[in-house]
Structure 1
């Protein structure tokens, strides 16, 4: 499983890097709707998600009541890409054969007494990878609304082909 997660993280990082790299610096505070995150918040979250691999494998839980989310402050796309690379190195660091036995251990996401998710550490890693993909798609919609040409994810995008 560790080898599979590492391969998936590597594949998704290629697409994620392309998407993060095209964010215009002057659009970081844009948001499509008042209930939506700004591009800065969304992109920062995407860039930090690889660290959830490490968190899943090195902790038993995340309790937002005692460890509230404090996103890294980024001010431009260069800083965003640097944050992503650091997060990616962090996530890769625990995807080693020695951690294979941890995959089936339990991990919990909570805020105090409110439990959001109880799953295996392997399922938590998979969830983190899915979150990267999910939020990357949201970012793609934001960029499309700003008329930024979108790179392909699993094949060419409408901006890369004449189909």
Structure 2
């Protein structure tokens, strides 16, 4: 978690607020939506460990509204802290318990809690790669993830 957080923090720090509304395609998220989603994902760990389900009908998704890069990074740090704390306090025996993603009576998927945590980390890496493409298209230097980037050589 530590190394991934460092990489995510570096990527999010490059997001310029003056480009928050930019999107590479009408079907794509805006830069702000994508960055805020990445920032919230560590908090999914807490959700997986402290709830039995997420029901979009009862809890409609409301993305975090960040105004600048500082707020984006603060949101990420709060989400990361929540995820780390929940993980540190969790009883390992609950990791195999079912956790449900639903929209009212429609069950989207059933995972075990470990699967939700794994999915959250996979989503971070996936969306961070998307963010790298967004930054490249905006001609913003990309920090290295698992070694130096082409901009750092």
Q: Give the TM-score category using the shorter length.
A: over 0.9
The structure 2 residue matched to 1:52, chosen from 21, 36, 44, is 44
> How large is the Cα RMSD of the aligned pairs?
1.0
Query: Runs of 5+ in structure 1 lacking a partner?
Result: 1-8
Mapped partners of 1:10, 1:66: distance in 2: 33
Asked whether the equivalents of residues 49 and 90 of structure 2 are also in contact (C-alpha less than 8 Å), the reply is: no
Shift of 1:115: 2.1
Shift of 1:98: 4.4
Mapped partners of 2:141, 2:53: distance in 1: 39
Asked whether the equivalents of residues 45 and 120 of structure 2 are also in contact (C-alpha less than 8 Å), the reply is: yes
Query: Runs of 5+ in structure 2 lacking a partner?
Result: none
Q: TM-score, normalised by structure 2?
A: 0.96
Q: TM-score, normalised by structure 1?
A: 0.91
Deviations 1:58-91 (A, max 9, x none): 1111011110111111011000000000101100
Alignment of 1:1-163 (within 5 A): 9-96=1-88, 98-161=90-153
Alignment length (residue pairs): 153
